Structure 1
Amino acid sequence: MNKFWIILWHTYVTKLKAKSFIITTIITSLLVFALTNLNHIIEFFNKDEKKTVGVIDQTGTLYEPLQMQLKKSGESDIRLQSFTGSEDEAKKNVQRGKWDAFLSLAYDDKQLPKATYYANTIADSDTPNKLEQSLQQVKTALATAKIGLKPEQVTQLYESVPFHKVALEKNAKTEEELNQARGLVYILLFAMYMFVLMYGGMIASEVATEKSSRVMEILISSAPPVQQMFGKIIGVALVSLTQFIVLFAIGFSSLKSSGKELLQFLGFEHIPISTFVYAVIFFLLGYFLYATLFAVLGSLVSRVEEVQPMITPVTLLVVAAFFIAMFGLNAPESSFITATSFIPFFAPMIMFLRVGMLPVPFWEIAVSLALLIVTIGLFAFFGSKIYRGGVLMYGKSTSLKDIKKAIQLTKK
């Protein structure tokens, strides 16, 4: 067992000290910090960036209501400027850069507002959309005044329909709880997806690298294949967990200080502890399932360049599980989602999705976990046999038929 800890510690420390790991962690941390403070970054660059829009009001009555509606809507980044000249002069003002755009206001046949927006390019859809929405409010006010509706009647007309959702099933989540659970589930599903793809490939590459240097022949003769394989799997898992904790700490602290609305929306404090427990269990089991497959496949290739084609089938399984989970976020009760939650390759994501959003009977969770653990055990048993022979195979790996050759080498 001492050899297992030596392999695990060596893998962990080597990867932790690697320049690629340090650089990747720093760059990713900066990206996480930037994303969680994106609203402040945008505000910083746009704080003095106001759009000046010239307005030709052919009616003589629409300019003031439009300006008041913009202020009422809180659109402080648009500055209107009344203009009494011709449209040709207004176009020249835009072309010369005096204005960002100009708006021509008029009445249609029904004596209701209409407008034409002029700009050098219309790639910026934000400004015209805000002007259109504000003008739409002015039009609504004029139209309702024409037919004699009072402001309070207009308010009643546009009020949302009271539509309440009530769950009859016992222990079923409320709509608010579902929205909060959906946010947490999405974050953890995405983390699991990235975790497996990034570090599963690292395990396969680690095995292939040592094999190509011929050092594997010495290692495999001095330590049992199971210890060798799981020492690398757990060592890389600890490296990835270290990076994950660093990124999570940066992201969470950044959100806590700058994105309180998002944290309140996710409502982590209202999520049951059992959901977090299941998240950890399925997360770890899913990692060990795929990591075992990646390690076995990595042992079949002789060069690092051959790793990617060999692990592609497993990668596609992870991608398929993720996309099924994305579908299940909006339809967690569908028969397809229920069925796939018992398939070991999909269970870490799909069953956790169901647990997070539905009151799933405990026996279903137990069956899914049992199938997942048994599958990991079988892969570990057969994987160790394939691993021992696979690391002694050299030459170009062409297909998964090499698994048979690896088993035959193990027997010898």
Structure 2
Amino acid sequence: MNKFWIVLWHTYMTKLKAKSFLITTIITSLFVFAIANIQHIIEFFTKNDKTTVAVIDTTGMFYEPLEEQLKQEKHDDLQLKKMSGSEAKAKADVRNGKWDALLILSADDKQLPKAEYYANTIADSDTPSKLEQALQQLKTALATAKLGLTQEQIAQLYEPVPFEKVALEKNAKTEEELNQARVLVYVLLFAMYMFVLMYGGMISTEVATEKSSRVMEILVSSVPPLQQLFGKILGVALLSLTQFAILFAVGFAALKSSGQELWKFLGFDHLPVSTFVYAIIFFLLGYFLYATLFAVLGSLVSRVEDVQQMIMPVMTLVIAAFMIAMFGLGAPESTFITVTSFIPFFTPMIMFLRVGLLPVPFWEVALSLVLLTATIGLLAFFGSKVYRGGVLMYGKAGSWKDMKKAVQLTKK
């Protein structure tokens, strides 16, 4: 067992000291800090940034109401400037940069406002969208006034339809719990997707690198293949947890400095503890499942350049599981989602999706965990044999037939 820890710590420390890991961690930490303070960053760069729109009101009726409507909607970054000159001169001023845009107001056959918007480019959709929204509100107010409707009648007209959702099952989640659960499920699905692809590929590359340097021949003769296999898997897992802990600490500190609480920021304050327990269980089992496959396949190639080609089928499985889970977010009770949640390669994502959103019977969760654990055990047993023979195979390797050769080598 001592040799297992040697492999684990060697893998962990080698990757921890690598420049690529340090640079990636620093860049990602800066990104997390920026995301946590995105509102302050946007306000800092846009606090003095105002868009000035010249307005020609051909009717003389709509400019003041439009200006008042924009104030009510608190579009402080949008400033109107009433013009009395010709359209040609106003358009020339826009071309020369005196004004950011030109708005010409006129009336239709029902004496309601219509507008034409001119700018050097119409790539900016924010400003015309705000103006259009304000004009729409103004048009609605004028139209209802012409019909003689009171403010109470207008408010009643636009009042939302009462629509209450009630779950009949005893343990069904409330609407608030479901909304928070969807966020957690989406975060975990995306994290597992990135986690497996990023660190699973790292495991394959690590094995292939040692094999190409012939160090593997010495290791295999002194360390049992199962210990070596899981030593590398756990070593990379420990590395990833280290990186996640750093990023979590940076994100927590950034949110705290901006005056926000982490739990309320994420919106998980009404979720039951069992949901988080299931999240950890499925996350870890999903990692071990795919990491074992990545390590085994990495042992079959002799060059690092061949790793991507060899692990492509496993990456396809991960992508397929993620896409199915995205579909399941909108239809978690569908038969397709229920069936795929029991397929071990999809279970970590799909079953957690169901557990997070539905009152799934415990026996279904237990059965999926048994199948998943058994699959990991079989992969570890078979993978250790392939691993032991695979690390002794050199030359071109790029097909699954090489697994048979690897197993045959272990019998010699």
TM-score by structure 1 length? 0.98
Q: Shift of the alpha carbon at 1:398?
A: 2.7
Matching residue of 1:175: 175
Question: Contact 1:36/1:251 (CA < 8 Å) preserved in 2?
Answer: yes
Question: Contact 2:252/2:262 (CA < 8 Å) preserved in 1?
Answer: no
Rounded Cα–Cα distance in structure 1 between residues aligned with 2:256 and 2:135: 38
- CA deviation string 1:314-337 (max 9, x = no partner): 000001101111111111111111
Matching residue of 1:309: 309
Matching residue of 2:184: 184
Q: Shift of the alpha carbon at 1:14?
A: 1.0
Rounded Cα–Cα distance in structure 2 between residues aligned with 1:256 and 1:153: 46
Question: Contact 1:180/1:265 (CA < 8 Å) preserved in 2?
Answer: no
- CA deviation string 1:362-381 (max 9, x = no partner): 10000000000000000000
Say if 2:154 is the partner of 1:160.
no
Q: Shift of the alpha carbon at 1:140?
A: 0.7
Matching residue of 1:80: 80
Taking a change above 3 Å as real, the CA distance of residues 17 and 265 of structure 1, as seen in their structure-2 partners, is closer
Matching residue of 2:122: 122
Matched ranges for 1:117-156 at <5 A = 117-156=117-156
Matching residue of 1:353: 353
Matching residue of 1:53: 53
Taking a change above 3 Å as real, the CA distance of residues 46 and 261 of structure 1, as seen in their structure-2 partners, is farther
Say if 2:63 is the partner of 1:63.
yes
Structure 1: gaps spanning 5 or more residues:
none
Question: Contact 2:306/2:398 (CA < 8 Å) preserved in 1?
Answer: no
Rounded Cα–Cα distance in structure 2 between residues aligned with 1:266 and 1:71: 32
Rounded Cα–Cα distance in structure 2 between residues aligned with 1:143 and 1:398: 71
Matching residue of 1:276: 276
Structure 2 residue identity aligned to 1:365: V
Rounded Cα–Cα distance in structure 2 between residues aligned with 1:236 and 1:261: 31
Taking a change above 3 Å as real, the CA distance of residues 263 and 53 of structure 1, as seen in their structure-2 partners, is farther
Rounded Cα–Cα distance in structure 2 between residues aligned with 1:260 and 1:186: 22
Matching residue of 1:406: 406
Structure 2: gaps spanning 5 or more residues:
none
- CA deviation string 1:227-250 (max 9, x = no partner): 010000000000011101111222
Say if 2:213 is the partner of 1:213.
yes
Rounded Cα–Cα distance in structure 2 between residues aligned with 1:264 and 1:79: 35
Question: Contact 1:341/1:347 (CA < 8 Å) preserved in 2?
Answer: yes
Question: Contact 1:52/1:80 (CA < 8 Å) preserved in 2?
Answer: yes
Say if 2:222 is the partner of 1:222.
yes
Say if 2:295 is the partner of 1:295.
yes
SS at match of 1:149: coil
Q: Shift of the alpha carbon at 1:46?
A: 1.0
Rounded Cα–Cα distance in structure 1 between residues aligned with 2:152 and 2:251: 45
Aligned length: 412
Matching residue of 1:244: 244
Q: Give the stretch that moved more between structures: 40-49 or 256-265.
A: 256-265
Indicate the percent of aligned positions where both proteins have the same amino acid: 77
Say if 2:386 is the partner of 1:389.
no
Matching residue of 2:94: 94
- CA deviation string 1:24-74 (max 9, x = no partner): 000011111112222222221111110000110111111000000000001
Question: Contact 1:185/1:353 (CA < 8 Å) preserved in 2?
Answer: yes
Say if 2:314 is the partner of 1:329.
no
Find runs of 4+ consecutive structure 1 residues off by over 3 angstroms.
255-266
Question: Contact 2:294/2:311 (CA < 8 Å) preserved in 1?
Answer: yes
SS at match of 2:269: helix
Question: Contact 1:208/1:298 (CA < 8 Å) preserved in 2?
Answer: yes
Rounded Cα–Cα distance in structure 2 between residues aligned with 1:90 and 1:255: 46
SS at match of 1:302: coil
- CA deviation string 1:242-290 (max 9, x = no partner): 1011112222443455484995374222111111111111111000000
Structure 2 residue identity aligned to 1:4: F
TM-score by structure 2 length? 0.98
Matching residue of 1:26: 26
- CA deviation string 1:175-232 (max 9, x = no partner): 1110011001111111111110000000000000000000100000001000010000
Rounded Cα–Cα distance in structure 1 between residues aligned with 2:263 and 2:103: 40
Rounded Cα–Cα distance in structure 1 between residues aligned with 2:149 and 2:261: 37
Matched ranges for 1:340-379 at <5 A = 340-379=340-379
Rounded Cα–Cα distance in structure 2 between residues aligned with 1:286 and 1:259: 35
Rounded Cα–Cα distance in structure 1 between residues aligned with 2:333 and 2:245: 32
Structure 2 residue identity aligned to 1:80: L
The root-mean-square deviation of aligned C-alpha atoms, in Å, is 1.3
Matching residue of 2:109: 109
Structure 1 residue identity aligned to 2:101: A
- CA deviation string 1:301-321 (max 9, x = no partner): 000000000000000000110
Question: Contact 2:309/2:398 (CA < 8 Å) preserved in 1?
Answer: no
Taking a change above 3 Å as real, the CA distance of residues 326 and 375 of structure 1, as seen in their structure-2 partners, is same
Say if 2:196 is the partner of 1:196.
yes
Rounded Cα–Cα distance in structure 2 between residues aligned with 1:255 and 1:189: 23
Question: Contact 2:263/2:269 (CA < 8 Å) preserved in 1?
Answer: no
